[in-house]
Structure 1
Amino acid sequence: MKNSAIQKAVSLVVVGLGLLAAVPVFAQTGAVSGHCADDKGQAIVGYPIVIERQEVKGVYKTKTDKKGNYIYMGIPLGQYKVTLQDPTGKTVFFISKHVGLDPSPTIIDFDMAKERAEQAKSIESNPEAKKQQELNEKNAKEFAGLHALFEQGQALFEQKKYADAAATYEQALAMTKEGDRNQIVVLGRLADTYEKAHQYDKAVEDYRKALAATPNDALLHNSLGNALAEMGKIPEAQAEFQKSAELDPPNARMAYFNLGVVMYNSGHMDDAVAAFQKAAKADPTYADAFYWQGLALMGKATLQGEKVVAPEGTVDALQTYLKLEPTGKYASAAQQMLQAIQGGVQTEYKKTKKKG
């Protein structure tokens, strides 16, 4: 009987210890809940709630329901940043709070009318904060006006109304600040517009102004090269294309291709071939680079009686183009050139072995 009683007592102790040991397992998590209301006191429906743990990385997400309420259960105890976002993911407001060992969820409400009122009160009592808010509001209004003009200019540009687009971009430019990123963007677009309107001197001037603020912009160097080429300033254009390619090697094909076209149009066939070869090397799938390479090489072809003798590499370039673009815009021309070369005509072309 005594042993039986002891065994029962031990069993009770063990069970008791088991229960005590189990308590922390359930007590180590908490919950957050709250109500979200807008400036007019109306429920904020369907907005994301992002709950971020601060001490250790952890992110939990939920949404407000039809009544503006939300709840998230089973999160570890600790300090959290709880953010109310709009449907686009933009932060509306956030609150930092500790989630502890409370039997009920930690309440974190978003009462925007109350929060705005407290913000305004805080700003009124702080002259520097008030000044900063006024500046922010002014900048926001100016940006809205700038953005509207920029969009208007873009619409006119797409309609090919370049004179009107340029005038609109000039208005937008007047609203920017010296050295500001917005100024650089507007200058670049204004220069693009002048280039399309064949006002190359103005285009060059604005490209250079933009590059003065951002000298490592490969696209601006490429665009400046195009405008200079249209003005017949070939050496300067060549330097800009080369600079563009050096600044952005992954996209160098565009700069080298443009350089090749400029060299071809100016009758510098050796330079054109070299540029097209670089474009093809930068992007071996760029079919146009191979076609123009073949075209430039054909510009160096000679006639021996009735025979066309094309430089080495011509056939390979044209065949590569056709392999990449068998029905491309230059396919017919490429086939005609190959027929002229290969139609029983001996050439200097020697087929090179393909690299494995």
Structure 2
Amino acid sequence: MKRIGWKISTLAAALLVILAMAQPTLLKAQAAPPAGNASIHGHVLNPAGFPLTKGEVRLSTDRTSEAKDRKYLYTFPIDANGDYKGSGIVAGTYIVFVFQDDKSLDFNESVPIAKEEDKLVNFDMSRPEYLSKMTPEERKQIEEYKKKNSEVSATNAKIQNLNALLTQARADNKAGNYDSAITAMKQATDTKPDEGILWVTLGDAQLGSGDAAAKAAKAAGTSPTDPAVQQKFTDAATSYKKAADLNAASKKPNPETAGVAYNQLGQAEARLGDAKASSDAYEQAAKAQPEKAGMYYFNEAATLYNSGKLPEAGAAADKAIAADPKKADAYYIKGQALIPQATVDPKTQKIVAPPGCVEAYQQYLELAPDGGHAADVKGILEGIGAPVKSSFKSGKK
């Protein structure tokens, strides 16, 4: 590739243009170029050896005019990958220039293009001939630019790999492939151990693995509290705690990450039989995300209810109702938590429900007349002689 008439000052300007990445200026309107059936394409590298991400390639046959007066017959844009292509070229021999911000950066002096040919013309401004024309300071800037871009590229590659692992692990968790998800997320947390969301997803895989193991143990007639099974839940709890702690220690804690981590920790602690730790975790989730407190308090109530902790479940249901009065199942849990306290009137022998119990059941029916517990609630109310809300329609779908 030949070079003619290149000045050091132009090289310096070109370098500054490449490093500054300034916006291109508008070109003056030109007459339409003659139409032909040949084409051209290629790739352009800047002096640092990276793709030139913007600019244009211009074709001219003018070898005598000054640069400012030179006419360009064809102009084709360079894309974000450093590639360019153009068609409609009349066969001939051209000088092919690389421009950026209306400044000529490089050129090929004599490029013959035949009729119907698709000519390949690449530009590599990192070639020794090009770099040798630069001052030591310009070359130093190029090296700093290369180093910075290499670091950015390495970081981007790392992030892309982590995102791929995270996406795959989430898909595996959804499909029940917990061992595969655990393997992926252990690799991810080893690579970037300070990222909370990675630990959340690892915890989800460990929790899912524990649930699957517990289910298999029950089916086999063995204990779901076997140490090997419980260890999976312990591992999950550890991962969720790690996620919450990392998020809290970060410069900008993410409320959603905190809420999810504590919510999942509540489930893991419940599997381990620690109702107090489970409740504490749900409370932390509600504190982290007040706008989702209704959901977190309900999860606390459901977990406690499933664990047989009825008084605690009722208290959590009250908090869920206060945060979200439209949460029907919270009223059901409240009613279920209270009904064991019912007494029998010694004179009438009728069942007397404790305060708030009937109202909770009735409110459940009001909100979910066709809900999953509607028939049971109707039977309980009728059994204790309490009125059933008229809006409830048995069997309505």
TM-score range, shorter chain: 0.5 to 0.7
- Counting only pairs closer than 5 Å after superposition, residues 1-356 of structure 1 correspond to structure 2 as 33=26, 40=43, 125-176=141-192, 178-179=193-194, 183-198=195-210, 199-215=232-248, 217-304=258-345, 307-342=350-385
Shift of 1:126: 3.3
Structure 1 residues 221, 304: closer, same or farther in 2, change over 3 A?
same
Q: Which amino acid aligns with 1:185?
A: I
Shift of 1:218: 2.2
What is the distance in 1 between the residues matched to 2:151 and 2:163? 18
- What are the ranges of 5 or more consecutive residues in structure 2 without an aligned counterpart? 1-24, 29-39, 45-74, 81-99, 108-122, 132-137, 211-231, 388-397
Structure 1 residues 141, 110: closer, same or farther in 2, change over 3 A?
farther
Shift of 1:324: 1.4
Deviations 1:192-245 (A, max 9, x none): 111111121100111111122113612211211211111011222222122222
Q: How many residues align?
A: 249
Structure 1 residues 196, 131: closer, same or farther in 2, change over 3 A?
same
What is the distance in 1 between the residues matched to 2:103 and 2:378? 70
What is the distance in 2 between the residues matched to 1:195 and 1:205? 11
Retained in 2: the 8 A contact 1:257–1:275?
yes
Structure 1 residues 138, 123: closer, same or farther in 2, change over 3 A?
farther
- What are the ranges of 5 or more consecutive residues in structure 1 without an aligned counterpart? 1-31, 42-66, 70-83, 87-106, 345-356
Shift of 1:342: 2.2
SS in 2 for 1:207: helix
Retained in 1: the 8 A contact 2:358–2:386?
no
Structure 1 residues 297, 113: closer, same or farther in 2, change over 3 A?
farther
Shift of 1:250: 1.5
Deviations 1:98-145 (A, max 9, x none): xxxxxxxxx97799999x978998787433322111111112222222
Q: Which amino acid aligns with 1:196?
A: G
Q: Which amino acid aligns with 1:202?
A: D
Q: Which amino acid aligns with 2:237?
A: V
Q: Which amino acid aligns with 1:238?
A: S
Retained in 2: the 8 A contact 1:188–1:207?
yes
SS in 2 for 1:284: coil
Q: Which amino acid aligns with 1:247?
A: A
Retained in 1: the 8 A contact 2:166–2:201?
no
Structure 1 residues 159, 38: closer, same or farther in 2, change over 3 A?
farther
Q: Which contiguous aligned blocks of 4+ residues in structure 1 show a shift greater than 6 angstroms?
A: 107-114, 116-124
TM-score by length of 2: 0.54
Q: Which amino acid aligns with 2:198?
A: V
Retained in 2: the 8 A contact 1:187–1:207?
yes
What is the distance in 1 between the residues matched to 2:186 and 2:104? 44
- RCO higher in 1 or 2 (8 Å CA, sep ≥ 6)? 2
Structure 1 residues 197, 111: closer, same or farther in 2, change over 3 A?
farther
Structure 1 residues 128, 284: closer, same or farther in 2, change over 3 A?
same
Retained in 2: the 8 A contact 1:124–1:130?
no
Deviations 1:144-186 (A, max 9, x none): 222222222222111111122212222222222x42xxx3111
What is the distance in 1 between the residues matched to 2:104 and 2:357? 74
What is the distance in 2 between the residues matched to 1:278 and 1:341? 26
Structure 1 residues 139, 123: closer, same or farther in 2, change over 3 A?
farther
TM-score by length of 1: 0.60
Percentage identity across paired residues of the two chains: 28
What is the distance in 2 between the residues matched to 1:311 and 1:262? 23
SS in 2 for 1:126: helix
